[in-house]
Each structure stands twice: as C-alpha cells, then as structure tokens.
Structure 1
Amino acid sequence: MGKSLFIAEKPSVAQQFGAALGENLSRRDGYLEGEHMVITWCVGHLVTMSYPDVYDEKYKKWRLETLPFLPTEFKYEVISSSAKQYGIVTSLMKRDDVDTIYVCTDSGREGEYIYRLVEQMSGVTGKVRKRVWIDSQTEEEILRGVKEAKDLSEYDNLSDAAYLRAKEDYLMGINFSRLLSIRYGNSMANFLNEKYCVVSVGRVMTCVLGMIVRREREIRNFEKTPFYRVLAGVDVAGANLSMEWKAVVGSRYENSPLLYKENGFKEMASAVKLIEETLEMEPGSAVLDEERRIMGQAKGSIEKIEKKKEKKKPPLLYNLAELQNDCSKFFKISPDETLAVVQELYEKKLVTYPRTDARVLSTAVAKEIHKNIRGLLGIPGVRDYAQTILDQEMYKGLAKTRYVNDKQITDHYAIIPTGQGLSALKGLNSRAVYIYETIVRRFLAIFYPPAEYEKLNFTIKSGSEYFFASEKYLKEPGYLSLMEYSFRKKKTATADAKEAAAVDNGSEENEGEEDENLNINMAEVLAQIKKGDEVGIGSMQIKEGETSPPKRYNSGAMILAMENAGQLIEDEELRSQIKGSGIGTSATRAEILKKLVNNKYIALNKKTQIYTPTLQGEMIFDVVNASIPSLLNPELTASWEKGLTYVADGEITADEYMVKLENFIKQKTARVLANNNQYAMQGMYRAAAQYYKK
C-alpha cells in the first residue's frame, strides 16, 4: 500500500494537518514525512500566467496593431521565487510510493486554482486525487475533512470558474491597459509633466475607482440647502417638553411650496409667520432673541398618546465583509489588515474559515454548536454568558431560526469561534484579541433574546397645527448585554439616549443641536395625562439646519458597497435580504482596494479610513468613461462575477463564458480604436486638476 501525499497552501497549515493526523513525522527540506504519509505545502501561488511576449516577441512592445491579444491556448510558468518549493511539491507528486494526493489548499476558488496550476504544470497522472474541504483548522474538522474527502473531479466546475476568473482579469488587464495607455498615455503624461503614464485597468479595480470618483464629484457639486424647523416649548402636567411642528394632514401648510420637508421651511420668514399665527401675534411683530426664540402664550390640546413596544433581534453572524466594516469603525484599520488578522486567527484554530460571504450556519453545524459554546467557557469576559446559554440550553432550536439556512451557504458558513485554540490568545497582539472578541460576542448574541424598547409618541394640536415629541427607552437589554466590548468606552445614559434617538430618527440632514428634552422622563408625564387635556405653549423657537452631501466611502463602507454591487446599504437587516455576487469576492476585495492605493489612483486616510481619489485617478476615470464606460458600471462588473458563479454551479460551461468574454474585449477594443478624442480630454483633466494643489 502506497503513501498519501497531503498538499497544503502554507507551511503553518501543513503543520496543523501533521498534528491532527497523528503520525510521527520527520522534517525534510520542504515537506514532512512519516510511515504512511507525506505532507508538503505551496507558498501561495507557485505557478502564474505568462506575459504576452512569451507567446511572441512582437508583444513585448505595446502596439495597437497587436490588440486585442486573445490566445487560443494560455501559457503558464513557475514563479521564479517559488521554483524550489515547486520542484519539491511536484517531485513528491510523482513519487512511485505516493498513490493518493489529498488537496488541502484553502477551501475556495483561489485555493482550488493554486493546486490545479501545480498539477497542470507537473503533468502528473495515475494518482487518486481527493479534495479536503474544511471550515476550520481544528483537529476534529481536519480529521472530518480527510475522512469525507471527495474525488477531486467533483470540483472541476469550481476549477473552471477559477481558471476563467484568472483569464478574465488577465485579458481585460492586458488588453485594456495597453489599449488605453497607447491611446491616452501621452496626453495624460503631458498634462502631468511626466515622462510617460500607464493607464492600469482591471475588471474590478476600475469599477471601484469609478465609485470613489463619482462620490467625490457628487460631494463637490452638492449645493447645501438651508431649512428651518419650528419647535414649541409645551407645558404638559408641569413638565416643559420641546415638541416639533410638522405640516401633516389638516395643517394650513400641508403640501405647501414653502416647505422644504414636512418639518421645515425653505425660508426663515415662513417659520416666523407660523410662530406669529400660532401665538396669535400681529403679523411682523415677532422679535427673535439670540437663540431665535419667541416668548408668548397659546393653548393646545392633547391629540394623541401612543406607546409602542419594539424588538431588535441580534444581528446575523459575520461574513468577511461585515467584519471588515465593523473593524474599520471600531479600530480604524483597512480591509486588508482585518483579513490578515482573521486569517491568523483561523490558522491558530480560533475561528472558522474567514473568506466567506455567508452570514448563517449550516444545519449540520447547528446540531453540534454546543461544542463551540462550551469551548468559550475558558474566556473570562464571556464565560458567564456562555455558561448561561449552556445551563438554560438556549442553543436548542437554533436550526429553526434565521441564523441557520443551508440555501444561503455556498462554500463556507459564517465566521464563528471554534471554541478551540484559546492558548494561542496569549501570543496575539491586542488588536487580534479585540477582533476575536468581536467575533465571539456576535456569535454568542444569537442565542440571547431580542432587545426590547418602549417608544412613546405624543401629539398636541394648537389651532390647525400639530406638534410632536417622542422618546425611546430600552426596557430589556436582551442580547445587548453581551455587546459591552472591552475595547470600547462605556457610554453615559445621555449618550445612549442620543444614539437611540439617532437610530430611530435617522436623517440625512444636519439639524444642529439636539433637542433639550432628553432629561425628561416622558413616561412619567404621560401617566398623568389623557387625550383631550389642555396644554400651554409658552415659547417657540426656530432651528436652522442644512442638507448634507453624501458621505465619502470609508474602508468598511467601501467593502459593503462592493459586496452589494455598488449599493451602499447602511441598514444591516436590509443587507441581509439582498443576495448577489457583488463586485469582486470576499477573498479579493481588500487586495483590490490596496492595489488602487499602491497605484496612487486613490488615497486612504489611515486615521479616518476614508478613501478619496487622486488627480491621476480622476484622469483615468475620465479616460475610461470616454472610451469603455461599461468598465465603470457596478452592475455589469457584478454580472461577470455572477457568471463565474454559474460556471462553478454547472449552470453554464466554461466555453460559453469564454465566448462572451472574448466578444466583449473585441467590441470594446474596436470602439477605442475608432476613437480619436485623446486631445479633447485636456478639458476634463483641467476640470479635475483645479481641486488638487500642484
């Protein structure tokens, strides 16, 4: 009986397999060997696609007449810096005493591609090949993955998708970068006083650049609109409440052209007139003090008292995009930094596979979830919560909740703690420990009940006008009791109240100061009154606000916008309902943003984690928009990614996808070759340059 060869993606992963498989292994140069097995590793990619000049020397120089470059067969080569390890891996694959190869590279499209390239270049045949697909690097999961390993051929569709993704990026990058650099490079270089200028284009990268440039231009072109709200100081049962006027049904100003919105006027004079009418003052007699307040007397009556209970469920579990978004907010770190940390946590057995788009668990995992929870008893900060979940068996019935859905899982389920590897925490830096804590608390929260709020709404009527007040109280914290992160400062009661109000009344406008009624317990006031009771208005005030431009993308928001095909969906619940491949994948989005920064097409403020374009980035945007505008279309870019998913699922063939890709490149190349607008671009360059210091 021959030996089994296990091929991992990294040396550290190979060591995890060696420890789990329980054989006495000796260390050799580039591999481990025992009586029944050999374990080796890649070091990321060992093989890459060859540059065009390998096909023909004529492609070495960039010329329009050699485009489009569409080889009938693609060439590959060993990466020179990895040649030694490639030689070791392939020699082991060809050993006569090796009869079975276990593919243990990362369980995803890119991991599949890494191995398939090595196998293709080696030319090895006649071996049994098994695919190990695991969700964590715990001993139990590794052993399960090896035991249940399927024949590698069952992953051929995934392999096809991986090859196509690489070919697509390669062909679009080479053809369009050369095409646009030749056509527009000189005009850009002349404008920038540079010797030459390369227009680097990518299927996903250029689309993301477009999103950032468009947002910057929306901000520049935004014109602020002032508006004026009217507040009333109302005496209710001896308490003075600040209430806001709105032009609802029955108001003299309902649907009036004087309104900016139902709670504000376009002109201050309109707000002053409303106050005079309400306080029954002579027109033009109102005098505003420094706070734009007018004292007076008016009567009103209680029109409506409403109490509502609201529940807020624990959020869905983390996928990589959601975790990158929260880490951007919590720790001000970039998506690639978050991925590096969570990858380390994965390799130390602390969490499950990080490069996942799923935010739910599988039914199979839900059945054994108590093991993950039990493992967390070793963490002082969450021990009591984990113990409560176990003691009260709060994990039972999880499979029937929204946190478990086999249909929403493709390659991997959500990122959760394994409950193992806790000894590794001592060797981690504080940031890694905090990110681990973030994952742990999100995980444990799903077993706790919803947070319960009581919302109090109160309406008075004076004449034909209506004034409103509302407050929101947290009655039962539920899962929120778990979300006291050790790395965040505890909030004061006032801050909590303001945050609750902001969440409840989320607005795009900057409305100035907060209403000064947060210290009043409205519940106590409402207990003393009933509908129809008379109230007094003793003062009225005008608050000026102004509309706000859209926000620039920070690193977390950018990842979410990419995940949702260009839509920045702020609402966590709504995001969970939208299913799509998005722009790029969970494994590539951070790297794409990093490349844009390294190319100096965009800039990242490390303190705020906000992205802005550079002048060169804006110029490239204008060039692409004038030549191949579809590259800037998020929906189209997402559709390419969706097509790769169809290939992986076996819904379309690789040949069908390739025909579509080649036709796209031919059509776009022909359009650019027909253009002769490079000098007309100077006006666009100048328009962008005025916003940048020389």
Structure 2
Amino acid sequence: MRLFLCEKPSQGRDIAKVLGATRRGDGCLIGTETTVTWCIGHLLETASPEAYGEQFKSWSLDHLPIIPAQWMVEVKPKTAAQFKVIKRLLSEASAVVIATDADREGEMIARELLELCKYRGPVQRLWLSALNEASIRNALSSLKSGQETFLLYHSALARSRADWLIGMNLSRLFTLLGRRAGYDGVLSVGRVQTPTLRLVVDRDRAIASFVSVPYWEVEVHLSSMGQPFIASWLPPSSGQDEAGRCLQQALAIQAIQEISSGKTATVLSLQTERFREPPPLPFDLSTLQEVCSRKLGLGVQETLNIAQALYETHKATTYPRSDCRYLPESMFNEVPAVFDALLKTDPALQPTFGRLDRSLHSRVWNDAKVTAHHGIIPTTEPANLARMSEQERQVYELIRSHYLAQFLPHHEFDRTQVELECGGERLTTVGKQILIQGWKGLLYENTEEDEPSQKSQVLHVLQQGTQCAVNDVELKSMRTAAPKPLTEGDLIKAMKNVAKLVNDPRLKQKLRDTTGIGTEATRAGIIKGLIDHGYLLKKKRALMASAAAHTLIEAVPAAVADPGMTAIWEQALDEIEAGRLTLDAFVAKQANWIAQLVEHCGALTLAVPVEAGPTCPICNVSMRRRKGKSGPFWSCSHYPDCKGTVPIRKDTRRS
C-alpha cells in the first residue's frame, strides 16, 4: 500500500479525489492500492524541559542552562488519536509520499512522524503549488525523490531546536531575574519574537524622543500663456537644514517680499526625463500582508488566513506562503487557461480583457529568480465569488489584478524639473505628463516619490527664458512630524527588509537585503503571539510596545534582540537546507552561545517592568498597576496630573 501523508484533512481530500481514494476509513481515505491520511498541523512537539529531568519542573537559576543531550519529541494530547492512525498506516505502508505543504515546516511535520514511527521504506515528495485538480495531477506526474527535500527537514529541526534553546532558557532566566526584582509576570524571550519586539520598541523610542521643530515654506502661484502652476522657494544653503527646510521665519518673510516685488519669474533651466514603470510583480506573502494592511486595514494573520482559504477552500489562488514574486517561464503556457478561468469566475472582467496583450512577456517570467515557490497568482480553474466573504474577495481581486497587470504596457511619463528666478530668489517646480497610462489604468501603486503638491502639473509651455507672471505668494507655517507608529504591515516589511536597519557594514553586506527575520510562514504568527502575550498593544492600526516589553528589550543582551543577528541565523538555516552546514554543528553552536549568555546574565539586576493596564476613563491613556492600603489598583500613568483609578478584581490579581 502506498501512503500519502498530507498536512491537513482538506488537503488530503483534494489529493484523494484525484487519486480515486474515495472510501472512508478511520482518519484516512482508501483507494485500490493507495491510502491518503493527514496530520492536523504538528502532531508532535519538542519535549518540555521536565521531560529531561524532574529537577526542571521548578524554575531555578541553578538549573540553567537546559541543553538536551538527546532531543525528544512528544505526541500532542489533542491529536493523539490521529497519531495512532498514522502510526498504524505507516507500519502497513510499502511506500510513502510526503504531501504536506511544500515548505520547511511541512517537511518537518511529515519527517518527524516517519522518524518517531521508525518507518524505513521508500519516500517520495509531492511538491504542490496549488490545490486545484490540474496542479495536483501535474505534481503527481513529477514526484521528487525523498532525498531531494530531506535537508529541508534538518533546516526545520535546526529552527525548532534553536527556538527551544533560546525560549526555554532565556525566558526562565529573565523571568527569574524579574522575580528577583519584584516582578511576578513572565518575561518571554524568543529567537524571532524578541528582535521583532525590538523593532517596535525602537520606533516607540524614536517617537517619544522626537522634538518637533517649526519650519516655513513659500509657495508661489505662477502662470505662463494662461497655464497656472505652483513653484516652491529654495532657501539659500546658509538658511536651511540638512533636509532643505527653512528654519528662519524672517528669511522666508524676506523672500516673500522679494518675490512679490519681482512681479515675474524667469525660467533659468528646464530638464525633462522620461520614465517607464513596469507593472508590479505578483505578490509574495509578505508583500500581500503589507498591502492588505495599508489598503484594507487587515492584520497580518487575517491576511494569511484569507490567503490560505483562497488556496485551500476556494482553489482560487496558488500556494500563499511564498517568498518569491516571480513565475517560471514554463507557466507562460498556462496563461490562456488562467484567463479562461478568470472570465468564467467573473464575466464582468470582459472589458478589461479587451485591453490585455496576451503575448506580452514581462519581467515576471524568470526561472533564475524562482525559489521553491513562485508568486501568488490565480489558478487555472474557475472559482465561485459568491462563496467568498467580502474580505476574501478583496484579497482575491488584489492577487488577480497583479497577475493581469503583467499583460499591460509600462506606465510611461515625462517628468520635468524647472528652476526659476524671481527678485533674486530661486524657485523650483516639478511637472509630470502621462504619455501611456499602461498598467496603472488597472491598478494604482505608488511606485515613485512624487512631490505631493506638484505631481500632476503639466509644464509643456515652459522653455528656458520664459517669463512667468507671479499671481500669489503664500507663506506656510509647518512643523516637523514625529515618525508614525508601526502598523502590522509596516512591521512585516521591516522584518523582511531588516538589512536596511543593520548598521554593521559586514552584516549588511552578508544579508544583501534578502534575508529577514522569520519566514513567510511564521511572521504573522510571531506578531500575533506578541499581541496575545501583551508585549504589543494595538490601537486601531498602530502597534505600541508595553512597559514590560521596553524593560525586556533593555535587559536582554544586544545580540538576543538584534534584528541583524537574527537574520544571520535565518541565513544559517538556509545554509543547512543547501547542505553547506550541518544540523549538529548549528545546534552545538547555539547551545554554547546560550550557556555563555546564562553565565553572563545570571547576576544582572532588572528594572521592575510596569505592567500594562487598561485605558484611563478620564484622559484615555494607559494605566499602571499600583499598591495601596487596600491592595493593588490601576492608576493613570499621568498621575498626579490625572487621578483616574480603576479597581483590580480579586480574581485577576497575581499571587
């Protein structure tokens, strides 16, 4: 019997249908010579510290570090019944096809079961990019050898063991140090979560330390041959800051007087440059999460759940946890089938299809840039829009539009930069003339840094020496603005592009702007975990770090919270996958590093973190836990200016 081992029941049903395995069994579907079964995510988990010794049941600095000599896994109690099913089927199987998700974690879900159940037979790998029937049949006709993806398993094990070593040891260490300082909460530390938290803490600090500075702009309304346009005054170099802003009001007022008395402005120079913007590529998961956060207000976990539903339930789009935005050149042959499916799904697209050029071969078709997965695109089978929720449909339409944009021309425009002189003062203006709307007629993406007040001006009547009438001069009083709080989409982008935040030139070079914190599959879960544990507070779309989070980031060694170092660890996992680094060498290095940290940090004294409380009913800011004669209570963090209090119910007090 050949056994297909899937990741989820829905995935198992889709594959079983194609294989003709339709008879229901206990936790499986049975065919003539084939059986399909499934996990329910991870059926196994790395054993807890107490499994390695009774002494680890209690938390003590004397018992740290905890470094297993022989790693153990345990069956999750909630899914023990399905584990028994798989164990029995593996004992009967003559061959196994791993059909879990085509990624690092999917490989681990299957391989850890094979190892625990001591399966020693032949193994093949089904590598799926979509769960529609055509994609399943295509993948079944080109099964990979088990050896081809085996190192993915070692990469996942390395990730799992490194996470365990850091999480179990450092969470106990800093929680115990916190208790020594009088804090009775848990200070959780994670290999990925702590550097992610650091990104938000750093932004909070930048906002808190920001000092707003006034500056002044002079806007000049001009016209030439009846065409009005707006120019901006250029302050002299001696009167501007590094961003080119005028910080002296008197200087701006003097400029207004000179310009007003000048009556006309003369064009000194004029330079026009043509730009061609290619259509944006299809989405990878991080970019989809970022765009859905910005445009639709969706959380990153919400976006992942929707993308997973579009893939699994609706069969409308391809594998969502992709880290790639390109498509294999062979998939260009599937364009007619995708188009037909899209039209059957939504006949209202007919006018749009009349503008598409199916022969266009955009930059998206590039074998050299395709990783284990390709960009997220529509499948070759029609979907049912009526069965989608409103949010599912919105995300689906974003994915669809980015695919269709590949068959529209580049967006082309002329950008004109003009310098003028008036009353001895220099002015500048920018104009833009769209020549070919191209893909922007279907999908608007802000892909260039336009000047907000001048981006839509057309300046084709201007030439060098042209005299322009001064119609009005306006002084604008401005203030520099603090950085904005991060949203979930911003945080996903920062996690992915962490190299931009790394100061060490050697690390920056090594990262090459490609490696980030976490993976496409894990980033949403990391952010959700930080929110669920109270480290991140969410107000509308903005994320802020709690007081405990600030204390933790201040206390942990720099390397533990360094986004650049975490990205290097992720790169090491890629090295394991490529066979250039062994699992044992990586874990040994991590264990040694943990032992050094425990020894170094054991004598630290932590500042007691302030527990994040409810919002003050008077002034709408976060409250802090305080002790009074009658016990603890919540007090406004603006005390004594605000004396708002909220009682703490007995059943919520910490013992």
Do these two structures clear the TM 0.5 threshold for a shared fold by scoring above it?
yes
Distance 2:226 2:310 in 1: 58
Distance 1:533 1:204 in 2: 59
The aligned residue for residue 145 of structure 1 is 139
The equivalent position to 2:536 in structure 1, one of 602, 605, 613, is 602
Structure 1 pair 56–693 and aligned structure 2 pair: CA distance change class (3 A)? same
TM-score, normalised with respect to structure 1: 0.83
Question: What SS class does the counterpart of residue 174 from structure 2 fall into?
Answer: helix
Distance 2:302 2:189 in 1: 24
The aligned residue for residue 509 of structure 1 is none
Structure 1 pair 530–566 and aligned structure 2 pair: CA distance change class (3 A)? closer
The equivalent position to 1:372 in structure 2, one of 317, 322, 338, is 338
Distance 2:22 2:473 in 1: 82
The aligned residue for residue 6 of structure 2 is 8
Asked if structure 2 preserves the Cα contact closer than 8 Å seen for 1:246 and 1:262, the reply is no
1:556 Cα deviation after fit: 0.8
Asked if structure 1 preserves the Cα contact closer than 8 Å seen for 2:21 and 2:35, the reply is no
1:414 Cα deviation after fit: 0.8
The aligned residue for residue 453 of structure 1 is 413
1:586 Cα deviation after fit: 0.3
Distance 2:110 2:281 in 1: 33
The aligned residue for residue 105 of structure 1 is 100
The aligned residue for residue 169 of structure 2 is 175
The aligned residue for residue 491 of structure 1 is none
The equivalent position to 2:401 in structure 1, one of 441, 458, 461, is 441
Moved more, 435-444 or 140-149: 140-149
Question: What SS class does the counterpart of residue 181 from structure 2 fall into?
Answer: helix
CA-to-aligned-CA distance 1:470-510 (integer Å, 9 cap, x gap): 222333211112227xxxxxxxxxxx9xx89x94127xxxx
Tell whether 2:267 aligns with 1:302.
yes
Distance 2:469 2:397 in 1: 52
Distance 1:47 1:550 in 2: 43
The equivalent position to 1:591 in structure 2, one of 517, 522, 525, is 525
Distance 1:462 1:688 in 2: 58
Distance 2:62 2:196 in 1: 29
The aligned residue for residue 278 of structure 2 is 313
CA-to-aligned-CA distance 1:603-661 (integer Å, 9 cap, x gap): 123x4x2211112222222222xxx2211111000000000000001111112212221
Equivalent residue letter for 2:7: E
Structure 1 pair 302–614 and aligned structure 2 pair: CA distance change class (3 A)? same
Structure 1 pair 51–503 and aligned structure 2 pair: CA distance change class (3 A)? same
The aligned residue for residue 623 of structure 2 is 693
1:40 Cα deviation after fit: 0.9
The equivalent position to 1:260 in structure 2, one of 228, 241, 250, is 241
Question: What SS class does the counterpart of residue 303 from structure 1 fall into?
Answer: strand
Which stretches in structure 2 are left out of the alignment for 5+ residues?
503-510, 625-655
Structure 1 pair 459–593 and aligned structure 2 pair: CA distance change class (3 A)? same
Asked if structure 1 preserves the Cα contact closer than 8 Å seen for 2:548 and 2:610, the reply is no
Distance 1:459 1:676 in 2: 60
The aligned residue for residue 207 of structure 1 is 195
| Aligned residues with identical type, % of pairs | 27
The aligned residue for residue 473 of structure 2 is 540
1:235 Cα deviation after fit: 4.4
The equivalent position to 2:565 in structure 1, one of 632, 636, 640, is 636
Distance 1:547 1:150 in 2: 57
Q: Report 1:121-132 matches (<5 A).
A: 121-125=116-120, 127-132=121-126
Distance 2:187 2:220 in 1: 59
Asked if structure 2 preserves the Cα contact closer than 8 Å seen for 1:130 and 1:152, the reply is yes
The aligned residue for residue 622 of structure 1 is 554
Asked if structure 1 preserves the Cα contact closer than 8 Å seen for 2:2 and 2:96, the reply is yes
Equivalent residue letter for 2:408: Y
Distance 1:343 1:6 in 2: 21
Tell whether 2:11 aligns with 1:50.
no
1:263 Cα deviation after fit: 5.1
Structure 1 pair 236–31 and aligned structure 2 pair: CA distance change class (3 A)? same
State the Cα RMSD in Å: 2.7
The equivalent position to 2:605 in structure 1, one of 643, 667, 677, is 677
Asked if structure 2 preserves the Cα contact closer than 8 Å seen for 1:302 and 1:534, the reply is yes
Distance 1:383 1:377 in 2: 7
CA-to-aligned-CA distance 1:310-338 (integer Å, 9 cap, x gap): 22210111000000011112221111111
Equivalent residue letter for 1:9: E
Distance 2:383 2:390 in 1: 14
Tell whether 2:247 aligns with 1:269.
no
Equivalent residue letter for 2:109: I
1:238 Cα deviation after fit: 4.3
1:119 Cα deviation after fit: 1.2
Q: Report 1:495-574 matches (<5 A).
A: 503-505=449-451, 514=453, 522-523=458-459, 526-527=460-461, 530-537=463-470, 539-565=472-498, 567=500
Question: What SS class does the counterpart of residue 173 from structure 2 fall into?
Answer: helix
Which stretches in structure 1 are left out of the alignment for 5+ residues?
190-195, 248-252, 280-294, 485-495, 507-513, 570-576
Question: What SS class does the counterpart of residue 616 from structure 1 fall into?
Answer: helix
The aligned residue for residue 648 of structure 2 is none
TM-score, normalised with respect to structure 2: 0.87
Asked if structure 1 preserves the Cα contact closer than 8 Å seen for 2:499 and 2:515, the reply is no
Equivalent residue letter for 1:12: S
Asked if structure 2 preserves the Cα contact closer than 8 Å seen for 1:234 and 1:536, the reply is yes
Distance 1:187 1:102 in 2: 54
Asked if structure 2 preserves the Cα contact closer than 8 Å seen for 1:6 and 1:103, the reply is yes
The aligned residue for residue 212 of structure 2 is 224
Structure 1 pair 205–271 and aligned structure 2 pair: CA distance change class (3 A)? same
Asked if structure 1 preserves the Cα contact closer than 8 Å seen for 2:206 and 2:483, the reply is yes
Structure 1 pair 464–644 and aligned structure 2 pair: CA distance change class (3 A)? same
Distance 1:184 1:35 in 2: 61
Tell whether 2:153 aligns with 1:159.
yes
Asked if structure 2 preserves the Cα contact closer than 8 Å seen for 1:376 and 1:386, the reply is no
Moved more, 403-412 or 32-41: 403-412
Tell whether 2:231 aligns with 1:243.
yes
CA-to-aligned-CA distance 1:181-229 (integer Å, 9 cap, x gap): 111234252xxxxxx2111110000111111011001001001111112
CA-to-aligned-CA distance 1:89-121 (integer Å, 9 cap, x gap): 1101111xx311111011110011111111122
Distance 1:77 1:359 in 2: 37
Asked if structure 1 preserves the Cα contact closer than 8 Å seen for 2:262 and 2:423, the reply is no
Equivalent residue letter for 1:108: D
Structure 1 pair 362–579 and aligned structure 2 pair: CA distance change class (3 A)? farther
Asked if structure 2 preserves the Cα contact closer than 8 Å seen for 1:244 and 1:263, the reply is no
Structure 1 pair 358–335 and aligned structure 2 pair: CA distance change class (3 A)? same
Asked if structure 1 preserves the Cα contact closer than 8 Å seen for 2:499 and 2:513, the reply is no
The equivalent position to 1:658 in structure 2, one of 587, 595, 601, is 587
Distance 1:619 1:262 in 2: 34
Asked if structure 1 preserves the Cα contact closer than 8 Å seen for 2:420 and 2:427, the reply is yes
Asked if structure 1 preserves the Cα contact closer than 8 Å seen for 2:181 and 2:605, the reply is no
Question: What SS class does the counterpart of residue 623 from structure 2 fall into?
Answer: coil
CA-to-aligned-CA distance 1:236-271 (integer Å, 9 cap, x gap): 334554321114xxxxx3x31x22357542111111
Question: What SS class does the counterpart of residue 461 from structure 1 fall into?
Answer: strand
The equivalent position to 1:80 in structure 2, one of 63, 77, 80, is 77
Question: What SS class does the counterpart of residue 119 from structure 2 fall into?
Answer: coil
Distance 2:271 2:558 in 1: 52
1:387 Cα deviation after fit: 5.5
Distance 1:640 1:548 in 2: 36
Structure 1 pair 522–40 and aligned structure 2 pair: CA distance change class (3 A)? closer
